[in-house]
Structures are given as structure tokens and as C-alpha cells.
A and B are shown apart, each in its own frame.
Chain A
């Protein structure tokens, strides 16, 4: 298995632009998580899905952030419009759930820079 796949790995954009981050979870995993990592705030959970359904989006910072999971093998995190304070590394993670265990497998991350 290739593990969790994220794209792009690096994104540099100007303030006000729309940014879309993509994630392909490990096949067969029922849970998908989006995290944001910064030096100041550490690893923050933004939203997570179970069987493609959003379960908890209380970590999404504001309405500029949205996430979708149209099918079991694909999820997107969109920021519109982007701001410099959104600069961070965004990780996607997936987990088998239930009998498969609680371990979360992280993707390589997308480093976002908003200028």
C-alpha cells in the first residue's frame, strides 16, 4: 500500500487566492482526518470523516475553510480566500476504525505558504 497520499506537497499562493489540498486515504480505512500544524499551535484537528460523512468540524477555524469527501478514496480541504495566517503544514491522516484499530496513518503533508 502506498500509504496516505497528499497533493500538492508544497503550495505558494497570494493572499485572497483559493487553495485546494487533496488527500487519498489508505484503502479500506473508514476514518479520515485533516490537521493543521504550526509552531505556535502544534497539531490541530480541523475536521474528520467517518465513511465519507463529516463527524466533527468544530476545529475548522472559520467559514473560509471547507472540506469534502465525495467518496472513500478522496478528500479535499479548501481555503477561500486564503490569508497569510493560514500558512502551515496541513496533514491528512486515515485510520481503519473499529476492529482495525485506532492508529492514525499520516500523509506527507502539504506545506502552504500564503504571501
Chain B
């Protein structure tokens, strides 16, 4: 089955700096890669996703890049703010009409220091 590795497990940055979280996946059949943000005591919520036919996607201060050849994808947050502090999870999903399950990474706890 799919295996998703996520690094680092914790990350501290100064407010205004950039943060980068990296994930690798094992199954070359995976074609959908979402990122979820989970604030303390809250539910995970989708913040951005990318499909395998796209190399990069941006949404304001966040961006995701995908390297299919190397089987890794990354989340970039620029101009970090205290409200960005949360646990971020990457995930991967295989292609195919019958496959709807996501495999999640272990998460990265991001702390933005004011």
C-alpha cells in the first residue's frame, strides 16, 4: 500500500519568515495530494491540494509543489503569521474510480513565534 513520509515533525519559525514542509510518497499510482491544517483541539481542514498533472499551485501565502519523478511534494507558507501555528498533514490518494482513501503523513507541528 501507499506510504507517506513527512518532515520535519516540528518546525519553529519567526513571524514573517517562510516555512517549508516536505512529503514523500511510495506509490507512483498516486495522483492527488492534499494538505490539511489542524489547529489545537480542532478538526483537520483542507487548505490546498494538487493533482499529478500540475507541478505547482498557489493560493495567497501558501503554495504546493509536486515532483512526480522523485515522488515528493512540499508545502510552502510565506510571510508566516501566528495564526499559521498548527499541525499540518500531507496526504496522497491513488488514481482510479474505486480508490477514495487518503494516506496521511504523521504531521508537522508548526510554531510561528511573534
A, B from the same assembly: yes
Number of interface residues of B (CB under 8 A): 20
Say yes or no: A91-B43 contact (C-beta < 8 A), given A31-B100, A42-B106, A102-B93.
yes
Flag if A95 contacts B89 (CB, 8 Å).
no
Number of interface residues of A (CB under 8 A): 20
Stretch at the interface among A14-22, A60-68, A69-77, A105-113: A105-113
Flag if A104 contacts B49 (CB, 8 Å).
no
Flag if B102 contacts A104 (CB, 8 Å).
yes
Residue A97 CB within 8 A of the other chain: yes
Q: Is the interface of A mostly helix, strand, loop or mixed?
A: strand
A50 → chain B closest CB, angstroms: 7
Flag if A107 contacts B101 (CB, 8 Å).
no
Flag if A103 contacts B34 (CB, 8 Å).
yes
Chain B residues with CB under 8 A of A98: 97
Flag if A102 contacts B34 (CB, 8 Å).
yes
**B106: nearest chain-A partner, CB-CB:** A42
Chain A residues with CB under 8 A of B32: 102
Q: Which of A33, A43, A56 has the most CB of B within 10 A?
A: A43
CB within 8 Å of B: which A53-95 residues: 55-56, 91, 95
Flag if A48 contacts B43 (CB, 8 Å).
no
Chain A residues with CB under 8 A of B100: 31, 48, 50, 55, 95, 97, 102
Alpha-carbon separation in the docked complex, A68 to B99 (Å) = 20
Chain A residues with CB under 8 A of B101: 33, 45, 48, 56
Give 18 pairs: A residue, B residue, CB < 8 Å, sorted on A. Answer: A42-B89, A42-B105, A43-B89, A45-B102, A45-B104, A50-B100, A91-B43, A91-B44, A95-B100, A97-B100, A103-B46, A103-B49, A104-B46, A104-B102, A106-B45, A107-B43, A108-B42, A109-B43
- Chain A interface residues toward B at CB < 8 A: 31, 33, 42-43, 45, 48, 50, 55-56, 91, 95, 97-98, 102-104, 106-109
Beyond the given pairs A43-B104, A45-B103, A104-B34, 11 more chain A to chain B contacts, judged by CB atoms under 8 angstroms and listed by A's residue number, are A31-B100, A42-B105, A43-B89, A45-B101, A95-B100, A102-B49, A103-B34, A104-B46, A104-B102, A106-B43, A108-B42
